[in-house]
Structure 1
Amino acid sequence: MAVVTTPELDALLSQAERAVAALDHGAGSADLAGIARFLLRSEAIASSRIEGIAPSARQIAFAELAEHEEIRTFGAQAKLVARNMTIVREATTRLAEAETISLEAIDRLHRALLADEPRHHGVRAVQNWIGGSDWHPLDADFVPPSPERVPALLEDLVHYLSGATHAPIVQAALAHAQFETIHPFTDGNGRVGRALIHTVLARRGLTVNAVLPVSLVLATFRERYIDGLTAYRHSAEEGSPDAHAARCRWLEVFATAVLQAAGQASLLRDEIADMRLRWEHRVEAHRAAIGRQRQLRSDSAVVHILADLPSTPVLTANTVMRIHSISENAAMRALNELRDAEILETRSTGTRARAFVAREILDLVTITERQLASTRFDTRASAPIREVPALPEPRT
């Protein structure tokens, strides 16, 4: 697929790539990786077809914790989302690490995303369409290729996905648009297509640590996203100026979304860095207040817990023992010290054990998700335009 870009688009693509690279390889990238799954939970929610209000980040964190120990304080919705988050993360990781991408691998990803809907599994053998009537495609917004053409088109796409013909962001953009144009499944095409964005960026080494919330930005600017895909599906003669212009229009939309996603992720990274400084000051103040003047050792349980807190915002003593290979007494001492320093709060687990919750992390995830649903990335200036979790309760 030939791509002829303009100087302006080249500059935008270069800017976007630098922003993502700086985000992924800079300080704080591990923190972004730790909480990225919460920001991308919309895919897990969609794949479960959960109705009603989406479960909170805290409920999902409790449900994830229950995969390793007995926890009861979460609902069925949170369990479904947590399970699907795990499935999507593992499937996408396998796809990113594979030497080459195959049709079978994409099919496995699709089955993982729609695990509870086997009737949609496998490449479609029927005609589908987007928009218009459920009974005929006469008024459809877009009619994908006929089913007999799909296997060959997918073979061509996986060959492109396995290579490196274009720069990473260009490849991610074109692969996503081509997949959505082929629309190879009867349902779940959007979810698989968005997962392929992360797969390409990870395979090309652009997002080794952080996960870019570009899916959420594209969802927020849905009209612009649809306009870009429509432009990509041009009818101009291949290689003509009109064909190149159409492709450039889509690349501009995608690169802009990548740049915006990187900017918002960078702000989130800075928020976490500021939070870490506050935690350090609270620990120091608490230790001084109880007469502990000696500085914390770098190998102490408190230091280890704080280092991993963005990725494990809900903990029990058993969790700390399992992750950091320390005794139960040492784990409880560290957790209680962080509670007394007002970094963790205790919550019931519905069992004899207590959970320790980093509410600031979970609240930050919720606020960030709400901001990403605003066309101004600021809910004070523009309200969220899609379903988002409720605002965190005020701290007392």
Structure 2
Amino acid sequence: MEVVEIKSERAGKNINVLSGEMSYKAFEPAPLPPLPHIKIDDEMTFLLSKAHRLVGRLDGISEQIPNIDLFVAMYVRKEALLSSQIEGTQATLDDILDPDIEENTNLDVADVVNYIKAMQFAISRLQELPLCNRLFKETHVVLMEGVRGQEKSPGEFRRSQNWIGPQGGNLKNAVFVPPTVEPMEKAMSDLEKFMNADDEIDPLIKAGLIHYQFETIHPFLDGNGRIGRMLITLWMIVQQLLKCPVLYISYFFKRNRIEYYDRLTDVRTKGHFEEWIRFFLNAVVDSASDACNTINELTNLHKVNYARIEALRGRKDTLFRLLNYIENNPIIYIAKTAQALGLQYNTVAKAVEKLVGLEIMKETTSFKRNRRFSYTQYLDYLRKDTQL
């Protein structure tokens, strides 16, 4: 196996495992915080200030919009999709929003649906648990239920060696080999202590360190990347940087996937924590800015379309209910929508026809029966960066 040379042991070191033809090297991470401590230069100070300012702005905006729960529900779906796409999941936003999702769910879609459930579960558990290994394990059960990897000990830290490398690869051609079982367990115990330590490390720097360390330890046989990215959002909530989960940086990692993996590797092999932290802070800045813009765009879209409905003559109760519904379900069938709203089919059909006339909705099929309609403007905002 060609092992990447360790030029600095600041982040850890490679350890020889087994002997003879069975031998390989596994990386044992050093406990956090790194020594020497993170050097905060002028560039990092600028990035930190900008990141905190934008995260604070995002948190403030999210408190002011009346339909934040709808926005969060949609944004969690987008984050779930992007995080799963990084792992190779072949699903699109339209797949996740398919009104027939229960009938049409395949393994790719199921991966994303489980991520949504896992995120919602983890946030609810934070009311009772700190950010800890127990929370990771319980969340992992939800993430892996009924999908690929469900046979790989859901909810348990691994009892065997894993590695990162090409599909169908092995320890001999692995790109990275995480610690063996006992050092992994110790590393996760150390990470748990670090997460809950009362220290003076800036919480955004600490978020980057925690994410790096979790990905390096790789405590599960599968699902590490998704749990590790979820951890960033959970940390933000625990640190009260955000009151609800409106910041996701998977789209930045996806768009900069090669650099993302290179930065992680450079920490392990060269001890370049500062370069990783700068990359991470840029991800926070970019993602927070994007989330602020998206909230503003969707809020303005809601106001404009609400006003267009308000300007119509006659009763508008059903139209307003339908508008609220499509903001959470932007792809619909009339029959299922009528059932969900507890209304007659013809009542919903007429309301949909009016929204189509206002160019709020658009028919996206040419069938006479089971016609599908979309809230296209809303979808266009959310589809950004989600295409395969």
1:273: Cα distance to partner?
A: 3.5
1:16: Cα distance to partner?
A: 0.6
Match of 2:140 in 1: 110
What is the CA deviation profile of residues 309-359 of structure 1, one whole-angstrom value per residue up to 9, with x for unaligned ones? Answer: 4323235678767877878887666444333323124578x9987665312
2:123 to 93, 102, 106: 93
Match of 1:365 in 2: 382
Match of 1:270 in 2: 296
2:96 to 60, 68, 75: 60
Q: Please tell me whether the aligned partners of residues 44 and 84 of structure 1 are also in contact (alpha carbons under 8 angstroms).
A: no
Could you state the TM-score of these two structures normalised by the residue count of structure 2?
0.73
SS of equivalent to 2:385? helix
Question: Would you say 1:156 and 2:195 are equivalent positions?
Answer: no
Q: Which moved more, 1:215-224 or 1:306-315?
A: 306-315
Could you state the TM-score of these two structures normalised by the residue count of structure 1?
0.71
- Give 1:189-208 correspondences, 5 Å limit: 189-208=224-243
- Give 1:130-145 correspondences, 5 Å limit: 130-131=164-165, 134-137=169-172, 140-145=174-179
Q: Which moved more, 1:302-311 or 1:205-214?
A: 302-311
Q: Please tell me whether the aligned partners of residues 153 and 182 of structure 1 are also in contact (alpha carbons under 8 angstroms).
A: yes
| Residue identity matched to 1:43 | S
RMSD between aligned residues? 3.7
- Give 1:1-396 correspondences, 5 Å limit: 1-2=32-33, 3-4=37-38, 5-26=40-61, 27-28=64-65, 30=68, 32-40=71-79, 41-44=81-84, 50=89, 54-63=90-99, 74=104, 76=106, 80-81=110-111, 83-115=113-145, 116=147, 117-121=149-153, 122-131=156-165, 134-137=169-172, 140-163=174-197, 165=199, 166-233=201-268, 246-280=272-306, 282-283=308-309, 287=312, 292=313, 300-307=317-324, 309-315=326-332, 334-345=351-362, 356-366=373-383, 368-370=384-386, 388-389=387-388
Q: Distance in 2 between matches of 1:186 and 1:282?
A: 52
* Structure 1: runs of 5 or more not aligned: 236-242, 371-387, 390-396
Count of residues paired in the alignment: 342
Change (3 A) 1:128 1:109: same
1:277: Cα distance to partner?
A: 4.5
Change (3 A) 1:160 1:304: farther
| Residue identity matched to 1:157 | L
Instruction: Give the 4+ runs in structure 1 shifted more than 4 A.
Output: 44-47, 315-336, 350-356
Q: Distance in 2 between matches of 1:108 and 1:85?
A: 13
Q: Please tell me whether the aligned partners of residues 82 and 250 of structure 2 are also in contact (alpha carbons under 8 angstroms).
A: no
* Structure 2: runs of 5 or more not aligned: 1-31
What is the CA deviation profile of residues 148-202 of structure 1, one whole-angstrom value per residue up to 9, with x for unaligned ones? Answer: 1111211121233345533332222111111111122233221221111121112
SS of equivalent to 1:212? coil
SS of equivalent to 1:120? coil
| Residue identity matched to 1:62 | D
1:258: Cα distance to partner?
A: 0.9
Q: Distance in 1 between matches of 2:243 and 2:207?
A: 15
Q: Please tell me whether the aligned partners of residues 91 and 109 of structure 2 are also in contact (alpha carbons under 8 angstroms).
A: no
